[in-house]
Amino acid sequence: MRLSIKHATRYRFDTPLTYGLQQLRKTPKSSNGQHVLDWVTRIEGGKREVSFEDHHNNVVELISFDRGTTELEVVSEGLVTIDDTSGIVGPHRGPAPLWLYARPTDRTRVGPATRKLLRGIDGDSDLARLHALSAAISEAVVYLVGASEATWTAEDALNAGEGVCQDHTHVFLACARELGFPARYVSGYLLMDGQVRQDAMHAWGEAHVEGLGWVGFDASNGISPDARYVRVATGLDYADAAPVTGLQVGGHGEALRVDIAVQQQ
Amino acid sequence: MTETPIFDEMWGRDQTLRQPYASFNSWLETEDTARLRAKQREAEELFRLSGITFNVYGRAEAEERLIPFDIIPRIISGREWQRLTRGIEQRVRAINAFLHDIYHRQEIVRAGRLPAEMIARNEAFLPQMIGVTPPGGIYTHIVGIDLVRTGDDEFFVLEDNARTPSGVSYMLENRETMLQMFPELFSRNRVQPVQNYPRDLCTSLMACAPDMQRANPAVAVLTPGIYNSAYFEHAFLADQMGVELVEGHDLRVVDGRVAMRTTEGYKAIDVLYRRVDDDFLDPLNFNPESALGVPGIMDVYRAGGITIANAPGTGIADDKAIYSYMPDIVEFYTGEKAILKNVPTWRCSDPDSLAYVLDNLSDLVVKEVHGSGGYGMLIGPTATKKELREFAKKLKARPGNYIAQPTLSLSTVPIFTNKGLAPRHVDLRPFVLMSPGGINVTPGGLTRVALKKGSLVVNSSQGGGTKDTWVLED
Amino acid sequence: MLGKTANGLFWMYRYLERAENTSRLIETGQRIALTRLGDGDEEWESVLQTAGMASGFHAHNEELGKDAAIDWMLRARENPSAVRSTIGAARQNARLVRTALTGEVWEAMNRAYMGSEERLARRVSERDLPRVLGLVRQGTALVRGATLGTMLRNDMYDFARLGTFLERADNTARILDVKYYVLLPGMSAVGSSIDNVQWETILRSVSARGGFRMEYGGAVEPRNIAQFLILDKRMPRSLAFCAVKLRDNLGYLASNYGTRPQSLEMADALVRRLLTHDIEAVFDFGLHEYIEEVIGALGTLGRQIEIDFRFYE
């Protein structure tokens, strides 16, 4: 499948910005079954300072806001082709060692609610257990836009019983690691049926299974990723893979507009 | 374990004057106590005036205090020093190779010489450094190796300081003070100079600049600010090197580089000698609460735009749990046996070791794995029954947080007291510079001395003082 | 050099200058109290006003009295402009810019600080006051001496001088601002003893009695005092002298950096204003209004220096 993606983020400030930096992880990776044919990022009201590939092989771009600006626009767009690999991404490649993904993070720490969920997980193979986990999560945490805070942990989401794809993924990571699988967060794009415009990126989890390597699980949709899923950034949790991490001085009265368009070519 | 008398570096074990002190002693015999007492006071006045102070943490007002200085030098022969230097160089080379390996292929783990969990469960391991090779391949530009001595040829490494070792300003000021007060001593003894350290440091840092093509790379010292306990040293080193002393708010990312705000605009920095801990270095990438760091500096670093000295993540090498593997680490990377000995160490994370440590607590020194400054440690032989009981509880609760070592009978060196000379325990921190050009060990170092009779705690925050350290030309 | 360092030098020398000026005002105040010609307490009110410390004083003290006023100006912790506080602040800034100072300047600063901390640790008795104030000024004078004798004449020196002269001009202007009425012609019977005390107070508080005598002999004329303190280019605490120094130092910075900062234009305008008038024109314009304008111009100049040389972000 060949997808065209356009992701525009626009910030407006009532008072001019004194200083601001953003770390972007918005460039899709070329990996097993996914090829980035073309990708550009344009910035207005700011400039690219540096770019590098981080320890999760994410392309990171550091941009700075122009001094005194009241508007910043970042537009990333390009073309990606994807094969359906049934969610299998394949063997781990460095530089981060596999054991790094077995470590819990603050957002994915195991607590009583996680342990309770895990008690019901069963299956006669690694894959079966992970699918069971994914299904149990979508049942335990009802998908509801706006239900959760961006800072929620896996436990928070389980206790609330509702959340978005980020929360599903954090619960998945906490549980998969507790079951002994290295696991990671994936942020990306998803082609949706009959809907081109979207206002947020998608997120799902990947677990490392002996013999298969990394395998994706989208608890929010109850499936493993197929040719409609574009992998952008990976990490131990949202903090590592977030499309934007920012810091700014001044610039009060911020208004944010995100416009994402994913369509088949 | 100490039936034999303690080794005194001036008088040996049997009150026979040791050779390195021969010339000093003949001078001392001609001096009267009153003059020395006046000199001791004069030294204190000099230190107070030059403002060589450290701030004491945890007080309402940042109080500045002097570290007591003792006028009797500690003297090491050239031969003794040579042997030490070989051991130090070997160890520092191994530490640097270890860091490169740990942040790349982790061959030492693959080879089964170091358990993976020593890294995986280590808070000092910095994932952001994975796959990063610092300019010139140097991780530890500046290292302080803490040594103790127990006999004629018996040196042990107590601790490696691979993050931001401090104290070098005392090494330099102690010498300066001795030169001013006792010039005659330096004409009688051929003492190897330490005064080149700031120039060597600057040269060494410049040699690690990211862009080898650029002539005269810009170096700066990053300090947490005037309230930091080592601010004096930061200012001192910047001053002696002739480079800017900057704080986080002087710096920002400009045109893909880290630049400092000067009266004429922003000016890029090539090498930053930072005296700010990893966690506070970059609020965008690490602790977002940090006001001491530079947002985005890690991005510039990873993109190859700046050298940070020491590299972020070097703390994994001076961790006290990793310390216990140092003999293996040295052998693994250098192919040689370690020249400098480690103090035998029990890792309390291991159940058998823990049991041994709990059974023998009153004979052991127990330290926190991540602790420093002598805080949070137990000295078994001098602890009360109650202290032992309470520490045992802490040990059982978090065994992985502790290591234990036998109490060594540290050597003594005389200090000048109101009643004349008296022996006190000492340690030694030599300072090591590393660059692609090689390893440079300054002949001397910081001798810390426990001023209380019988005490083994030399930390300045707990009543320790310092001495000038002489390495003689043989 | 770092913007922060320029800022630190500027303020280190401003605070040193302030410490000296305040100690001089205290000395003057005590002196007048001893002459018992004026109402002592009222005079202290005017001294506090001149030092810019009146509102702070009244916020922390119930009643105005000699001892309370002296203690407030000399050593009150709550008073950031007290002599002890300003010497502490000067040293704090010196610590900040340690790398920009020579060893001798740093040691002199440290010595001045330690001396002040020691001597001002307890209330100073009236008997000891002149000696203590003398020692304090001796301490700060040593810092200035070491500065003149050992510091390189580069941009660092320029910022140190800017701080010194901006503070000094401000101090002289404030003295004139509080006391202008005694200099106005025809305000009181010429030569009354009250006036003589007032005039002498002004001269004393800028250490100008000797200089004034050399220039004008024994006859004290308010017009001459105004002329001397505002327009005389040779009197080191006059507004004109300070303005010329400010302009010169900004000029060195400008040629060193190859720029023409706005603060230089402002200093230039200030010099022209102070040197092209004669004292008659000043009185015609209105002495008070004139001084107020100069004070305003000095404030604006200080803020522009901060911007031009990137003291802050």
Distances (CA, A) of B169 to B266, B445, C30: 29, 10, 46
Residue in the block written with tokens 């160089």 = B89
* Beta sheet of A197-198, edge-to-edge order: A34-44, A71-82, A2-12, A255-264, A197-198
Tell me if chain B has a CB within 8 Å of the CB of C257. Answer: yes
Q: How far is B201 from chain A (nearest CA, A)?
A: 29
Contact list in C for residue B273 (CB cut-off 8 A) is none
Q: Which helix (H) or strand (E) holds A163?
A: strand A162-163
Tell me if chain B has a CB within 8 Å of the CB of A52. Answer: yes
pTM above 0.80, yes or no: yes
pLDDT one-digit tens code per residue, A65-124: 998 899 999 999 999 999 999 899 999 987 899 999 998 999 999 999 999 999 989 889
Distance CA A249, CA A247 (A): 7
Chain center to CA of A211: 25
Residue type (1 letter), C312: Y
Tell me the mean pLDDT in the region C279-302: 93
pLDDT one-digit tens code per residue, B325-342: 999 999 999 999 999 999
Tell me if chain B has a CB within 8 Å of the CB of C260. Answer: no
Distance CA C163, CA C249 (A): 10
pLDDT one-digit tens code per residue, B214-254: 788 999 999 999 888 889 999 999 999 999 999 999 999 99
Distance CA B62, CA B51 (A): 14
ipTM of the complex: 0.94
pLDDT one-digit tens code per residue, B272-329: 999 999 999 999 999 988 889 999 999 999 999 999 999 999 999 988 889 999 999 9
* Beta sheet of A88-90, edge-to-edge order: A88-90, A213-217, A202-209, A183-190, A229-235
Tell me if chain B has a CB within 8 Å of the CB of A62. Answer: yes
For residue B418, name the pLDDT band (cuts at 50, 70, 90).
Answer: confident
SS3 content of chain A, % helix, strand, coil (to 5): 20, 45, 35
Closest-CA residue of chain C to B264: C309
Contact list in B for residue A247 (CB cut-off 8 A) is 283-284, 288, 295
Contact list in B for residue A92 (CB cut-off 8 A) is none
- Closest Cβ opposite residue C1 in set B50, B249, B262: B262
Q: Does residue C211 have a pLDDT over 70? A: yes
Tell me if chain B has a CB within 8 Å of the CB of C99. Answer: yes
Residues B250, C4: C-beta atoms closer than 8 Å: yes
Q: How far is C253 from chain B (nearest CA, A)?
A: 10
For residue B2, name the pLDDT band (cuts at 50, 70, 90).
Answer: very low
Residues B303, A54: C-beta atoms closer than 8 Å: no
Choosing among A52, A58, A63, A234, which should be mutated to test the B contact, i.e. which has the most B CBs within 10 A?
A52
pLDDT reported for residue C204 = 87
Cis peptide upstream of residue A95 (ω within 30 degrees of 0): yes
pLDDT reported for residue B59 = 42
Percent of chain C with pLDDT over 70: 96
pLDDT reported for residue B253 = 97
Contact list in B for residue A21 (CB cut-off 8 A) is 253, 284, 295-296
Contact list in A for residue B286 (CB cut-off 8 A) is none
Buried b (16+ CB within 10 A) or exposed e, B398-418: ebebbbbbebbbbbbbbbbee
Q: How far is B144 from chain A (nearest CA, A)?
A: 29
Residues B235, C6: C-beta atoms closer than 8 Å: no
For residue B60, name the pLDDT band (cuts at 50, 70, 90).
Answer: very low
Distance CA B56, CA B61 (A): 9
Contacting residues for B4 by C-beta, under 8 A, at least 6 apart: B13
Tell me if chain B has a CB within 8 Å of the CB of A67. Answer: no
pLDDT one-digit tens code per residue, B182-204: 999 999 999 999 999 999 999 99
Contacting residues for B44 by C-beta, under 8 A, at least 6 apart: B66, B68, B69
Distance CA A120, CA A123 (A): 10
Least confident of A169-173, B52-56, C293-297: B52-56
Q: Are B161 and B144 contacting, i.e. CB atoms less than 8 angstroms apart?
A: yes
Tell me the mean pLDDT in the region A206-221: 95
Q: What is the mean pLDDT of chain C?
A: 90
Residues A21, B284: C-beta atoms closer than 8 Å: yes
Contacting residues for B393 by C-beta, under 8 A, at least 6 apart: none
Q: Does residue B180 have a pLDDT over 50? A: yes
Q: Are A201 and A25 contacting, i.e. CB atoms less than 8 angstroms apart?
A: no
Q: Are B251 and B258 contacting, i.e. CB atoms less than 8 angstroms apart?
A: yes
pLDDT reported for residue C187 = 58
pLDDT one-digit tens code per residue, B147-157: 999 999 899 99
pLDDT reported for residue C191 = 54
Tell me the mean pLDDT in the region C33-45: 72
Residue in the block written with tokens 């002999």 = C217
Tell me if chain B has a CB within 8 Å of the CB of C111. Answer: yes
Cis peptide upstream of residue B310 (ω within 30 degrees of 0): yes
Residues B296, A23: C-beta atoms closer than 8 Å: yes
Contact list in B for residue C6 (CB cut-off 8 A) is 263
Residue in the block written with tokens 């074990």 = B13
Instruction: Read off the tokens for A239.
Output: 């903090």
Tell me if chain B has a CB within 8 Å of the CB of A55. Answer: yes
Q: Angle of helix C3-35 relative to helix C83-96, nearest 10 degrees?
A: 160
Determine the topology of domain B344-407 in CATH. Dna Ligase; domain 1 (3.30.1490)
pLDDT reported for residue B374 = 60
Q: What stretch(es) of chain B map to CATH 3.30.1490.270? A: 344-407
Contact list in A for residue B285 (CB cut-off 8 A) is 23
Residues C110, B51: C-beta atoms closer than 8 Å: yes
Name the class of domain A88-240.
alpha beta
Q: Does residue B375 have a pLDDT over 50? A: yes
pLDDT one-digit tens code per residue, C67-81: 999 999 999 999 999
For residue C39, name the pLDDT band (cuts at 50, 70, 90).
Answer: low
Residues C4, B48: C-beta atoms closer than 8 Å: no
pLDDT reported for residue B3 = 57
Tell me if chain B has a CB within 8 Å of the CB of A106. Answer: no
Distance CA B329, CA B102 (A): 11
Distance CA B444, CA C65 (A): 60
pLDDT one-digit tens code per residue, A131-154: 999 999 999 999 998 888 889 999
Q: Are B327 and B343 contacting, i.e. CB atoms less than 8 angstroms apart?
A: no
Total beta-carbon pairs less than 8 A apart between chain B and chain C: 60
pLDDT reported for residue B184 = 93
Instruction: Read off the tokens for C93.
Output: 């800034």
Tell me the mean pLDDT in the region B158-172: 93
Contact list in B for residue A94 (CB cut-off 8 A) is 130-131
Residues B120, A19: C-beta atoms closer than 8 Å: no
Tell me the mean pLDDT in the region C199-225: 86
Whether domain A2-82+244-264 has CATH 3.40.50.920: no
Buried b (16+ CB within 10 A) or exposed e, B213-227: eeeebbbbbbbbebe
Contact list in B for residue C102 (CB cut-off 8 A) is none
Contact list in B for residue C253 (CB cut-off 8 A) is 263
Q: How far is C234 from chain B (nearest CA, A)?
A: 31
Residues B131, A94: C-beta atoms closer than 8 Å: yes
Q: How far is B213 from chain C (nearest CA, A)?
A: 24
Contacting residues for B442 by C-beta, under 8 A, at least 6 apart: B171, B194, B196, B197, B200, B430, B431, B432, B433
Domain spans in chain A, listed from the N-terminal domain onward = 2-82+244-264, 88-240
Tell me the mean pLDDT in the region A2-9: 95
- Give, rounded to a whole angstrom, the gap between the first and last alpha carbons of chain A: 8
Closest-CA residue of chain A to B107: A97
Instruction: Read off the tokens for A38.
Output: 């073309």
Q: Does residue C290 have a pLDDT over 50? A: yes
Tell me if chain B has a CB within 8 Å of the CB of C118. Answer: no
Residues A95, B106: C-beta atoms closer than 8 Å: no
Q: Are B66 and B174 contacting, i.e. CB atoms less than 8 angstroms apart?
A: no
Distance CA A54, CA B132 (A): 9
Q: Between residues B66 and C172, which one has the greater pLDDT?
A: C172
Distance CA A22, CA A245 (A): 6
- Closest Cβ opposite residue C2 in set B50, B231, B244: B244
Residues B244, C99: C-beta atoms closer than 8 Å: yes
Q: Does residue A204 have a pLDDT over 90? A: yes
pLDDT one-digit tens code per residue, C84-113: 999 999 999 999 999 999 999 999 999 999
pLDDT one-digit tens code per residue, B89-99: 999 999 999 99
Distance CA A12, CA A236 (A): 31
Contacting residues for C84 by C-beta, under 8 A, at least 6 apart: C74, C75, C77, C116, C117, C120
